[in-house]
Each structure stands twice: as structure tokens, then as C-alpha cells.
């Protein structure tokens, strides 16, 4: 199976730049080495979906970076999973550590989002991962299992993202990611795919993608330029040829 390449553009890529970046990725000659999922900001979703449709591109999908836990109602500011699905979104990232940390989203709330998103027809990319402190205390497996407890039968892709490795340039050693992926695989069986996220770039992408129990990567800052995406697709195409 082709590796998953999930591009999380966070709040980095403006609406103006999103369609151009999507077009560059769609046109990349090595893109076919991966199954690509682009996660633009909510405001850029329509343009990115439009760019994919216009190019009639295959094996490239659109994810929302988050969603509400209901489809409609008195929830100011929330975005309905059902409306996202209607807008051409196929996946949604739920439980990203930036949502957990900055918006106090806990496992109970995240489980509600997972249920609603699935009912709306979205595939769920669920993020788990420990803080540096939890790692130092030897609690990684416990933390990850706890984050998975309520949702493990309902998610399609699990992204293991050690919090301290996100946006810091400090990626974990691939063999350490592999250990956690193996723990996750024991929890979920073959119901879900498993990706690594946290400071993935053109230099380390191959070692993550080829690790055991690893189906792909979730890439943040390195996915926000067409040049570094091209460099990463090139690396993936080398694996595809081997
Ligand atoms: P990063 O972000 O690649 O910039 O570390 C990954 C993520 O947050 O998903």
C-alpha cells in the first residue's frame, strides 16, 4: 500500500496561497508515490477541493483540521461535520495536540467529535502523543492507551505525534516511534492505519515511512511549501521503486 502523506497546513497557509500550493502538489510528478491528504484552513477548503476537481486528480483528498461535535445547533463558531462532508471533505483531524493544549479539548469531547464526524461520513485521523514530562516519567504507553480508550474502534488513521516533537525540529528516533506504533497496533488491530507526526521533513521522511507498523506521516511545517513537498515526494518515490 502507498504511504499516507497528510499535510497539516495549520494556520500557516493563507487562503490566497492554499489553492496555489494544492495545485503545485497535484502537479508534482512524484506525488503518486503517496496517498495524499491535504488539511487546509476551513476558509481554504472550497478552493483546495476545487483545485483537485479541476485537475481531476486521483489519490488526493481533503481533510478538515478540526470539527464541531454536533452537526447543527446553538454552537457559536463550530463547524458542522455534515457540512464539511458536503463541501467535499473526506477526512478530519481530531485531537491534534494543539487543540488539546490550546483549546482544552479532552478525551471525552474528542470522542463526541469522532462519533459525529463518522456519522457524517468523514474518516477520522485521530492524534495521540505524550509530553516531554510524560516521556521522561516512562508513561508514554499509558498516555497513548488512555487517549485511545474511548475511540479506538472508531478511528481510521491514528497519528502518533509526541507533543515535544511538533514544530520543534526535534523528531523522535524512528525506532522509538516504531515502539509506540507497535503498542497502538496492539490496541487497534488492523482497523486503523498508523502514521508518525512531529518534525517530519525531507531528511527523515524515509526512515519514518519504512518503520514497522507505520503507514505514513503527518507533516506540519514542511508541508507548507511546494519545494519541500516536492523533496519529500521524491524521497517517497525512491522507496516506491525499491
Ligand atoms: P510539524 O507538525 O511537522 O511542524 O512538527 C506536525 C503536526 O503538528 O501535525
Per the CB < 8 A criterion, the answer to whether 63 and 94 are in contact is: no
- Does residue 162 line the site of ligand 1, with CB under 6 A? no
CA of 80 to the centre of ligand 1 (A): 24
CA of 213 to the centre of ligand 1 (A): 20
Region for 54 from its dihedrals, namely left if φ exceeds 0, alpha if ψ lies in -120 to 50, beta otherwise: alpha
The dihedral over CA atoms of 65, 70, 76, 82, expressed in degrees to the nearest 10, equals: 60
Per the residue annotation, which of 98, 105, 130, 161 is the catalytic one? 161
CA of 117 to the centre of ligand 1 (A): 22
Parallel, antiparallel, or unpaired for β 91-94 and 123-128?
parallel
Parallel, antiparallel, or unpaired for β 193-197 and 157-160?
parallel
Q: What does the pLDDT read at residue 33?
A: 96
pLDDT tens digits, residue range 202-222?
A: 999 999 999 999 999 999 999
Q: What does the pLDDT read at residue 1?
A: 87
Contacts of 164 (CB under 8 A, 6+ apart): 131, 132, 135, 170, 198
**Per-residue pLDDT band at 12 (split at 50, 70, 90):** very high
Predicted model pTM: 0.97
Q: What does the pLDDT read at residue 190?
A: 87
pLDDT tens digits, residue range 176-195?
A: 999 999 999 999 988 999 99
Amino acid at each position: 500500500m502507498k504511504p499516507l502523506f497528510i499535510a497539516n497546513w495549520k494556520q500557516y497557509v493563507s487562503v490566497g496561497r492554499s489553492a496555489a500550493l494544492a495545485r503545485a502538489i497535484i502537479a508534482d510528478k512524484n506525488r503518486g508515490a503517496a496517498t495524499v491528504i491535504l488539511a487546509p484552513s476551513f476558509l481554504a477548503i472550497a478552493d483546495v477541493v476545487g483545485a483537485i476537481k479541476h485537475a481531476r486528480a486521483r489519490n488526493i483528498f481533503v481533510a478538515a483540521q478540526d470539527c464541531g461535535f454536533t452537526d447543527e445547533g446553538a454552537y457559536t463558531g463550530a463547524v458542522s461535520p455534515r457540512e464539511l462532508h458536503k463541501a467535499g471533505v473526506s477526512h478530519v483531524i481530531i485531537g491534534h495536540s494543539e487543540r488539546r493544549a490550546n483549546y482544552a479539548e479532552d478525551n471525552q469531547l474528542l470522542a463526541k467529535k469522532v462519533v459525529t464526524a463518522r456519522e457524517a461520513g468523514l474518516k477520522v485521523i485521530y492524534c495521540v502523543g505524550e509530553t516531554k514530562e510524560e516521556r521522561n516519567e516512562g508513561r508514554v504507553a499509558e498516555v497513548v492507551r488512555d487517549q485511545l480508550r474511548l475511540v479506538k474502534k472508531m478511528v481510521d488513521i491514528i497519528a502518533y505525534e509526541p507533543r515535544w516533537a511538533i514544530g520543534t525540529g526535534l523528531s523522535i528516533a524512528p525506532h522509538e516511534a516504531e515502539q509506540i506504533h507497535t503498542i497502538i497496533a496492539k490496541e487497534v488491530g488492523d482497523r486503523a492505519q498508523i502514521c508518525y507526526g512531529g518534525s517530519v521533513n525531507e531528511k527523515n521522511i524515509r526512515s519514518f515511512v519504512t518503520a514497522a507498523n507505520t503507514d505514513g506521516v503527518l507533516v506540519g511545517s514542511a508541508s507548507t511549501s511546494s519545494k519541500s513537498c516536492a523533496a519529500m515526494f521524491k524521497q517517497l518515490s525512491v522507496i516506491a521503486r525499491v
